[in-house]
Amino acid sequence: MSGESADEPGWDVSPEDEIAPVVEATGRQVRLWREAAGMRVADFGRAIGYGEDLVRKVERGARIPRADFLDRADDVLNAGGHLRAFKEDMEKARYPKKVRELKMLEERAVELLLYSNHNIHGLLQTPEYARALFGTWRPAYSPDELERMVAARVARKSVFERSPAPELSFVQEEVTLRRPVGGTMVLRRQLEHMLEVARLPYVELQVMPTGHADHPGTGGRIQVLKFGDGTAVGRTDDEFAGRPVSDPRHIRVLELRYGIIRAQALTPGESVAFIERALGET
């Protein structure tokens, strides 16, 4: 791996981010172990396969070191696992604060109820779809910010890999399956991916046809995450200022709305057939 190829977008850290002190502490440890080993920055960079400029960025806390960087540094500097120990923190540091918080909630949830009426839900998005979607936002993201957002969205997909897996219920408005975000090929791959997810035994994916207009989803997205201790957190676009809520009274409102939406949507089997038709028409 050359230094140039390693210095890819998506790993810079903003000084204003609350995770910045952790990144700075990690970089400081790398520098201390390097100096203790008597290695110059250039020699150390060559030894681990990274460019000198990137190493300097890591050591001053301006760059989030990848897991591979920390693994190689630990071996070359004989750090005995002290640098590898930062890998989990650095993986989390790559994602924006809101995404870190959401990912933590999703990792705890035993049941997720998710209604999307404008775009395909983030947990269902392919990297190509996510990149194209983020590319439409204004003001536009920088290339580094864009890659960081895509990486964060992809990382949330770990919810599908948990054991035991949580129960996931998605309801998608028909328009989200028709809007060609990223172009025809990106949309086709996105629909194919949704069909793959829909066949997972712990996933129920339903489509709300545009013709089914008499339901309480016109106010925007609805999310309800339930936890093993009986508590829950939810959010909707049109109420509670769009902020997460955990009050049981508010959760009941969101569950009521979601239940009606779910009942009026196509069944999971009908939805799979619907997505297959949409794919054929794309």
Output the six-digit token pair for 32. 């201390």
Residues 123-148: tens digit of each pLDDT: 999 999 999 999 999 999 888 888 88
Of 3-12, 85-94, 101-110, which range is least confident?
3-12
Which amino acid makes up residue 38? G
Q: What pLDDT, on a 0 to 100 scale, did the predictor assign at position 4? A: 40
- 104-124 residue pLDDT tens: 888 899 999 999 999 999 999
> Which tens digit of pLDDT belongs to each residue from 193-244?
999 999 999 999 999 999 998 899 888 899 999 999 999 999 998 777 678 8
DSSP 119-176: S--GGG--HHHHHHHHTT-SSPPPHHHHHHHHHHHHHGGGGGG-SSPPEEEEEEEHHH
Q: Which of 105, 96, 74 is nearest to 20 (CA)?
A: 96
Q: Of the given ranges (24-33, 51-60, 87-96, 204-213), which has the lowest mean pLDDT?
A: 87-96
